[in-house]
């Protein structure tokens, strides 16, 4: 038993390999628009353009799977929130739970890093 603990300490596991992948041209992504996107590993992501300045802070990429029961969430532009219809779960524009069972259990949506390069939007996601 001591040997296996020592091996874990001496040879820690490497993190999941990640890669930056192309999402869209900024000119093709309107303010308020949400794009459903799937990672190479099958994770469902909701990418939303919340502003129109053309900077990275205009965009957010969140898991589109509710952490409560795994239902699909969607962006509601008029209410400025992500909504889960299964149990009326709601999340603010940053993916923090604000209502329903996800808020009661403090479960927010997972967030994915984004970057802009040459007017192109990229997302960093696990590839294995």
Determine the Cα–Cα distance for residues 98 and 83; give it in Å rounded to an integer.
Answer: 10
CATH class belonging to 16-126: mainly beta
What pLDDT is stored for residue 81 in this prediction?
92
Q: What does the angle CA 75 – CA 76 – CA 79 come to, to the nearest 5 degrees?
A: 135
Higher pLDDT, 17 or 12: 17
Reported as a single tens digit per residue, the pLDDT across 82-128 is 999 999 999 999 999 999 999 999 999 999 999 999 999 999 999 88
Q: What share of the chain is helix, strand, coil (3-state, %, to 5)?
A: 15, 40, 45
Determine the Cα–Cα distance for residues 92 and 89; give it in Å rounded to an integer.
Answer: 10
Q: Taking Cα atoms as reference points, which of 118, 120, 113 lies closest to residue 57?
A: 113
Task: Give pTM, 2 decimals.
Answer: 0.80
Reported as a single tens digit per residue, the pLDDT across 46-84 is 999 989 998 999 999 999 999 999 999 988 888 989 999
């Amino acid at each position: 038993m001591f040997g296996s603990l020592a091996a874990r300490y001496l040879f820690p596991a490497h993190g999941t390999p990640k890669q930056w992948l192309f999402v869209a041209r900024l000119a093709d992504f309107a303010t308020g628009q949400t794009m459903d996107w799937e990672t190479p590993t099958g994770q469902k992501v909701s990418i939303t353009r919340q502003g129109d300045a053309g900077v990275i802070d205009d965009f957010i990429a969140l898991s589109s799977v509710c952490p409560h029961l795994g239902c699909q969430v969607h962006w509601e532009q008029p209410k400025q929130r992500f909504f889960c219809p299964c149990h009326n779960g709601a999340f603010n524009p940053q993916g923090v739970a604000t209502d329903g069972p996800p808020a009661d259990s403090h479960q927010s949506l997972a967030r994915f890093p984004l970057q802009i390069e040459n007017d192109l939007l990229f997302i960093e996601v696990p590839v294995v």
